[in-house]
A and B are shown apart, each in its own frame.
Chain A
Amino acid sequence: MSAHILEVSGLFVSYGRVEAVRGVSLSIPVGGIVTVIGANGAGKSTLMNAIMGVLPSRGEVLFQGRPLGRSLVEARVGEGVCLVPEKRELFAAMTVQDNLQLGAYRLGRSAVAGGMEEVFARFPRLKERRGQLAGTLSGGERQMLAMGRALMSRPRLLMLDEPSLGLAPLIVREIFRIVTDLRKDGVSILLVEQNARAALQVADEAYVMELGEITLHGPASQLAADSRVIESYLGLGARH
């Protein structure tokens, strides 16, 4: 049994003739938080979508030591891989409760009640809103619902694409607190964040992605102190 829940090696993803991900290798230790940082368009979301099976890719992806091959998205969800995408992809015209129920689709009706209790315990706000249509939620609530829906499938690996996108600082803090909580419950996490500073604070390991390739890799604390990372990703504050 490998100590890594996910091992990606030599992954390529192309859109037509444009290669968006070029030979990426990365691994996520069991129960670890790994973050990928990089500029817009560096290929971070593409990488996650390829791991999820939403986009076709070349290269090897091992989940719990077994190759995922060409398996369909739904089969990967069944294995325990789950993605919370940048656009959340909620069922806008359905209620919060229905959204959560469908999150447990692979597990069947029996898993719904228990899972829903856990999610409501983690996100009390969702319990208040359970009869409301997902499309009418605020940005922060949507992100909570997206994470709650993902947790309903009891994932072993949770991939979060820009979870703080467009959220007010207070809610961002809340989201990151929950991310660290999840690790305590044994969920491994792959985190893509534009807010590199926050991501490096919660992560154990970090990768820097530029133009579809991994250019730096190391412990998160080490990268946070790396001058190249500070210059390019930790933004304006480091500039004087």
Chain B
Amino acid sequence: MNATIALFLAQDGIINGAIYALLGVALVLVFAVTRVIFVPQGEFVAWGALTVAALEAGTVPGTAWLLAVLGLAAALLEVVRERHAMSVAKVAVMVVRDVALPFALLGLVIWAAPMRLGLAVYVLVTLVLLVPMGPLIYRLAFQPLADAPVLVLFIAAIGVHFSLLGLGLVFFGAEGFRNTPFLDMSFPLGPMMVKAQSVWIVVVTLLLLAALYAFFERTLLGKALRATAVNRLGARLVGIPVRATGRMAFALAAAIGAVSGILIGPLTTIYYDSGFLIGLKGFVAAIIAGLASYPLTALAALLVGMLESFSAFFASAFKEVIVFSLLIPVLVWRSFAAGHHDDEEEE
């Protein structure tokens, strides 16, 4: 290995690391606010890329249908589950928000898809379709389990991942896609060529992280989310609607996942099941940071990205083995650091 290769690997590592950082931060956020370990995060990454791909091809992305289905399911189930607390007004709100709106969106996408309105529109449509799925999934799967132990929520998250994986296959097929870059150009930096898309990724990541920081530090809503994370009962006692903050966290996570997918779409071929491994690596970073600290998560993500790109060079077949084996000592370390607090939450 010479310096050029090392530089090239480092560049790769930074780009991957940036994506893992975004995903890791979203996972920390969701876990802190809702105690859900959001395994399905990876599906949003894949769907972000694949939705843009479908729109580029001038077809209706499956996610437009899926949003309508999820909205309908959430509305129906909620009416059944909370029938004793239902009012005409509440049902009306749900019909408009969860059923009418998604179907209107679907109609709009069907009408506009063949017109090929350009990348900016594709990105916008992708976000509009994917972000509401976060809160919908929260309402369908996790809200009824809000008082369950972390372990039960985790198993449920695995269940949701399993379902979404299958749905991804239904809506996007087994074929992989590679999207058009935002700007198809490269420029030299020292001895190597840097793709414009890589710069995009790093810049957008930094901007998003800065925006998240401002949101949590400066706004009352952001503080309410943090408060829910720090002390759920305390948050309820000051009147913070913890269900709504949970939905908010899921919306943010969905947005971050979708953006990550849109960003990496042009760099690598994405299949319906590509998201899981990508998300899981964001996860490794989040766990290294103890599922608690945002800056540490970003740092750890960079580390994971580097480790991955260098191990891909030295032992490409065992890349995944190396990255995930690394997780075990980290878990042991974290487990001891966490002490015996979560020892007794069963039964």
CB distance from A169 to the nearest CB of B (A): 27
B237–A102 CB distance below 8 A: no
Interface window among A22-30, A103-111, A177-185, A214-222: A103-111
Known: A70-B84, A89-B231, A89-B234. A94 touches B223 (CB 8 A): yes
Q: A94-B227, A102-B227, A109-B220 are in contact. Are A153 and B238 (CB under 8 A)?
A: yes
Answer yes or no: B240 CB below 8 A from chain A CBs. Answer: yes
Question: Which chain A positions have C-beta within 8 A of B231?
Answer: 89-92
Q: Which residue of A is nearest B84, CB measured?
A: A70
Q: Is B240 touching A74 in the complex (CB atoms < 8 A)?
A: yes
Contact present for B241 and A103 (CB under 8 Å): no
Known: A70-B84, A91-B230. A77 touches B220 (CB 8 A): no
Contact with A along B223-249 (1 / 0, CB 8 A): 110110011011111111110000000
Return chain A residues, CB-CB under 8 Å to B224: 102, 105
Q: B238 is contacted by which of A70, A92, A102 (Cβ under 8 Å)?
A: A102
Interface membership of B85, Cβ < 8 A: yes
Stretch at the interface among A4-12, A78-86, A123-131, A198-206: A78-86
Q: Say yes or no: A90-B241 contact (C-beta < 8 A), given A98-B223, A101-B223.
A: no
Whole-angstrom distance between the alpha carbons of A153 and B237 in the complex?
A: 10
**Least distance between A75 CB and chain B CB atoms (Å):** 8
Interface size of A by CB at 8 A reads 29
Residues of B within 8 A of A83 (CB): 237
B235 contact set on A, CB distance < 8 A: 91, 102
Contacts of B230 in A (CB 8 A): 91-94
Nearest CB of A to B220, in Å: 6
A74 lies within 8 A of B242 (CB): yes
For A54, the chain B residues whose CB sits under 8 A away are: 233, 236-237
The reply to whether the CB of A149 lies closer than 8 angstroms to some CB of chain B is yes
Q: Is A157 an interface residue (CB 8 A)?
A: no
Contact B238 A77 (CB under 8 A): yes
Determine whether the beta carbon of B220 is less than 8 Å from that of A105: yes
A113 interface hit (Cβ, 8 Å): no
Interchain CB contact under 8 A, B226 and A73: no
List 20 extra interface pairs beyond A74-B236, A94-B230, A153-B239, CB under 8 A: A52-B237, A74-B242, A77-B237, A77-B238, A78-B239, A89-B233, A91-B226, A91-B227, A91-B231, A92-B231, A93-B230, A94-B226, A98-B223, A101-B223, A102-B227, A102-B235, A102-B240, A108-B220, A149-B238, A150-B238
A-B contact pairs, 28 of them (CB 8 A): A52-B237, A54-B236, A54-B237, A70-B85, A73-B236, A74-B240, A74-B241, A77-B237, A77-B238, A77-B239, A78-B239, A89-B231, A90-B231, A91-B226, A92-B231, A101-B223, A102-B223, A102-B224, A102-B227, A102-B240, A105-B220, A105-B239, A105-B240, A108-B220, A109-B220, A152-B238, A153-B238, A153-B239
Which A residues are within 8 Å of any B CB, using their own CB? Answer: 52, 54, 70, 72-74, 77-78, 82-83, 85, 89-94, 98, 101-103, 105-106, 108-109, 149-150, 152-153
- B residues with a Cβ closer than 8 A to A are 84-85, 220, 223-224, 226-227, 230-231, 233-242
